[in-house]
Amino acid sequence: LYFLSQLPARMDASETISVVLMALVLSFLATLFPAWRAARLDPVEALRYE
């Protein structure tokens, strides 16, 4: 019925490691700006309007 009965998939260790490392780096970079802004914020001012 189909041309391919299964998709050819080959897991390479170096590709897997590079994807995991890239995900970790991007998630770390995505948390830097909000953490930097929160560190500059005065806790009393932040809690005043909660």
Decide if 3 is inside a domain: no
Identify the residue whose tokens are 């041309």: 3
Q: What is the pLDDT of residue 21?
A: 98
The whole-angstrom separation of Cα 18 and Cα 4 is 29
**Within a domain: 34:** yes
Confirm whether 5 is domain-assigned.
no
**Alpha helices, H only, the chain:** 13-40, 43-48
pLDDT of the chain, 50 residues: tens digit per residue:
678 788 778 889 999 999 999 999 999 999 999 999 989 989 898 888 77
Looking at residue 6, the DSSP 8-state letter turns out to be S
Domain count, the chain: 1
Is 9 a member of any domain? Answer: no
Q: Which residue's entry shows tokens 């309007």? A: 49
Classified as helix, coil or strand, 27 is helix
pLDDT at 17: 97
- Domain span at residue 32 reads 14-48
The predicted pLDDT at position 1 comes to: 60
- How many Å apart are CA 48 and CA 24, to the nearest integer? 35
